[in-house]
Amino acid sequence: MSIFNYKEQPGYFARLKNALTLTQEEIGKKIDQIVGKQESPITENQLEELENVLIGSDIGVNMTMEIIGRIREETRGQRIMTSFKVKRLIREELVRIFKGTQEWEEPGSLTKTPYIIFVVGVNGVGKTTTIAKLAHRYRSQGKDLLICASDTFRAAAVDQLMVWADRINTDVIRQSTGSDPAAVLFDAIAASRARNKEMLIVDTAGRLHTKSNLMQELQKMKRVAAREVEGAPHQVYLVLDATTGQNGQVQAQQFLNTIGITGLIVTKLDGTAKGGIVVSIARDLKLPIAYIGVGEKLEDLVPFSAEAFIDSLFPENEAGR
Ligand SMILES: Nc1nc2c(ncn2[C@@H]2O[C@H](COP(=O)(O)OP(=O)(O)O)[C@@H](O)[C@H]2O)c(=O)[nH]1
Ligand SMILES: [Mg+2]
């Protein structure tokens, strides 16, 4: 669970809510339609419909079964189950899931420099875009940083990084296409030292068809970082795409087993009704969700707050009644 307090961030909640509009319609509104404002015990039919809504939102089958089980338990003995009460139960279950994940804290003032962040994940999930957003964010917090272009597999990857870097006025350390990603990293660490940079954000390749090479490559990069800087890599962010649903979890497990992950970044939460994936990711991986991507612009990356996430799906004033 993140210790980031969203209530202290002006505008944060409105933005999150906006990004989660489709998910909210998919979960919150549909639950309202099913259980309505009824004052009689919930029927088996309604439970089935609820189950479909929850599964459809990508919250995960196990999670859905747990929630439905609790609702069933609570309605036993003819207890009244209104839409508010259903939502409150779901809220409670979600809070419990996020409490089961590790704590995560955004990099603060940096002592071990360069502070090295690896950004990993399969092709197309949004790694490069996220790196630009992260660099933008950390720079606005006053951190002096460099970006390392270790996705040397595709020429376009470095070009894309250069375009972003230009816009945020940050240097990129790169070599020619096909060079050893660990060698680029070695260079980038040397450059960070020489230029007194506090932070180094590392883009990595994400090709799927030669996965074992990719994993070996990442392990080698990890060894280089660890040898050069104490405690490095200090963060390994795994980027997952919310729109690809449950597939992401299998990938995640592989990255987790190979290089270890300190935090997850879930992208493309805007424009999907499947935002429930965030819950099943947290539940299954037990890893903290560090940031979420809510659009394609530089500003569209926000720290994840489980509380804000739950509040935007099930407003507290309604669910608490
Ligand atoms: N809507 C939306 N699009 C995103 C987000 N993050 C990344 N993208 C888009 O996803 C596509 C792939 O991103 P890219 O950074 O190249 O992925 P990479 O292959 O993992 O490096 C691009 O078109 C990005 O604009 C997000 O949070 N929301
Ligand atoms: Mg990329």
Domain locations in the chain as residue ranges: 115-261
Residue 174 has pLDDT above 70, yes or no: yes
What pLDDT, on the 0 to 100 scale, is given for residue 319?
Answer: 47
Q: How sure is the predictor about 39, in pLDDT bands with cuts at 50, 70 and 90?
A: confident
* Contact present, 205 and 214 (Cβ < 8 Å): yes
* Contact present, 264 and 18 (Cβ < 8 Å): no
Task: Specify the pTM.
Answer: 0.92
Report the nearest-CA residue for atom 17 of ligand 1.
126
Distance, CA 126 to ligand 1 centroid (Å)? 4
Q: Which atom of ligand 1 lies closest to the CA of 132? A: 15
- CA dist 83 and 42 (Å) reads 9
Q: Which atom of ligand 1 lies closest to the CA of 131? A: 15
What pLDDT, on the 0 to 100 scale, is given for residue 211?
Answer: 64
What pLDDT, on the 0 to 100 scale, is given for residue 318?
Answer: 55
Q: Which of 56-65, 70-79, 227-236, 283-292 has the weakest average pLDDT?
A: 70-79
Q: How sure is the predictor about 320, in pLDDT bands with cuts at 50, 70 and 90?
A: very low
Q: Which of 22-26, 98-102, 254-258, 289-293 has the weakest average pLDDT?
A: 98-102
Q: What CATH architecture is 115-261?
A: 3-Layer(aba) Sandwich (3.40)
Q: How far is CA 271 from CA 1, 213, 243, in A?
A: 24, 33, 9
Dump pLDDT digits (tens) for 115-150.
999 999 998 999 999 999 999 999 999 999 999 999
Q: Which atom of ligand 1 lies closest to the CA of 133? A: 6
Report the nearest-CA residue for atom 10 of ligand 1.
126
What pLDDT, on the 0 to 100 scale, is given for residue 49?
Answer: 93
Both tokens of 211, joined, read 């996965």
Higher pLDDT, 193 or 283: 193
* Over residues 267-284, mean pLDDT: 88
What pLDDT, on the 0 to 100 scale, is given for residue 277?
Answer: 87
Residue 311: Cβ within 10 Å count: 19
Contact 241 CB / ligand 1 (< 6 Å): no
Q: How sure is the predictor about 60, in pLDDT bands with cuts at 50, 70 and 90?
A: confident
Ligand 1 pocket, mutate which of 129, 151, 298 (most atoms under 8 A from CB): 129
Dump pLDDT digits (tens) for 75-84.
877 777 787 8
DSSP track, 219-287 = HHHHHHHHHHSTT-SSEEEEEEEGGGTTHHHHHHHHHHHHT--SEEEEE--TT-S-TTHHHHHHHHH-P
Residue 168 has pLDDT above 50, yes or no: yes
* Over residues 198-206, mean pLDDT: 96
What pLDDT, on the 0 to 100 scale, is given for residue 2?
Answer: 55
